[in-house]
Amino acid sequence: TARDLQEILSFTVALAYRAGELIIEGSEVIIQAPPDSESGVLEKKNAVDLVTEYDVRVEELVKKELGSKYPTFGFVGEESYSAGSRPPLTDAPTFCVDPIDGTTNFVHGLPYCCISLGLIYKRRPVLGVVFNPFTGQLFTGAKGQGSFVQQGKNSQPRRLPFAQRPRGLASLSQANIAVEWGSDRSAETMLLKTRSMTRLAGDISAGGKMAHAIKSLGSAALNFCNVAQGGLDIYWEIGCWPWDVCAGIVISQEAGCVITGSHDTFAISSSSPEFGDVTEEILTGRKYIVVRAIGDTNHE
């Protein structure tokens, strides 16, 4: 019910703030580590897919706290999944967590990363909390109850979208667009990405849309939130995972954004078939797009 969601939201927001303290602690450790030390940064599937000791520690904290407060709920997390914990998705309420979304930024000391806490119910995302501990910016959303941004613990949450934003754009040429390189650097994916980027950013005489800007900021969850709050007009990516997008989906949808794509070769469906139902319904698309109201999105 709406009241249940509000109760879960208060709990997960408090937990996100606690996790944020650990993320800040981790960032200090990594920044102060001697340059030639390993500093707890490990590679996962390849040299651009990183994990740190703090991704694991934050996920452990969150999993433990959620498990004792909501023992009947399921849990899907980026690091548990990597470690082999891949429970099949059911209709039961299931938390979907990325302990540090934007790990590469975290490792490099770029303050564009966050914890992303989502809740799936009956295979649909229904609640999202995204917190960037470096900026103190907190985004929340609950299905049917709107989404909000808050700057600092004691400040007043502001409902999204803001009055004048997100505003509709007449064309892609006015758009501020986020795309991500992601960790799939295969020739096929790189070709799709660079071709699309060229079409979006390139000169009109060469068939491009001359978008205002194309940027790769490095956190899927924050990209969703920034489309929701209007700083970005579009976020487009190939290759997200459920924990990258679950919370952001609720926050952006509640702010009136549209999420679209085609699920045929989407990385989530191909690499984690147990999320198939979710991907079909909510994480649609290998070309995964969240977009504000815009006249012309047909850049293919």
Annotated catalytic residues are: 78, 98, 100-101, 103, 244
CA 280, 281, 283, 288 dihedral sign is positive
59 in contact with ligand IPD (CB under 6 A):
no
**CA separation, residue 261 to residues 45, 192, 265 (Å):** 25, 14, 10
182 in contact with ligand IPD (CB under 6 A):
yes
Cα separation, 233 vs 246, whole angstroms: 19
Query: What does the block give as tokens for 149?
Result: 């941004």
78 in contact with ligand IPD (CB under 6 A):
yes
Instruction: For residue 272, give the 3-state DSSP assignment.
Output: coil
Shortest spacing between CB 99 and ligand IPD, in angstroms: 8
268 a known binding residue? Answer: no
- In terms of phi and psi (left: phi > 0; alpha: psi -120 to 50; beta: otherwise), the region of 214 is beta
Shortest spacing between CB 164 and ligand IPD, in angstroms: 28
From 85-93, 118-126, 143-151, 215-223, span contacting ligand IPD (CB under 6 A): 215-223
Query: What does the block give as tokens for 194?
Result: 């660079």
Number of residues that bind ligand IPD (CB under 6 A): 15
| Phi then psi dihedrals of residue 140, to 5 deg | -135, 155
* Residue in the shown chain whose Cβ atom is closest to ligand IPD: 180
The residue among 211 and 247 lying less far from ligand IPD, judged by its C-beta, is: 247
244 a known binding residue? Answer: yes
The residue among 5 and 112 lying less far from ligand IPD, judged by its C-beta, is: 112
115 a known binding residue? Answer: no
Query: What does the block give as tokens for 40?
Result: 């707890």
From 100-108, 250-258, 274-282, 289-297, span contacting ligand IPD (CB under 6 A): 100-108
Q: Residues 84-115, buried b or exposed e (16+ Cβ, 10 A)?
A: eeeeebeeebbbbbbbbbbbbbbbeeeebbbb
Cα separation, 117 vs 130, whole angstroms: 6
Shortest spacing between CB 181 and ligand IPD, in angstroms: 6
> In whole angstroms, what separates CA 223 from the centre of its chain?
7
Q: Which member of 20, 74, 77, 102 binds ligand IPD (CB under 6 A)?
A: 102
Residues that bind ligand IPD (CB under 6 A): 78, 98, 101-103, 180, 182, 218-220, 237, 239-241, 244
Binding residues: 78, 98, 100-101, 244
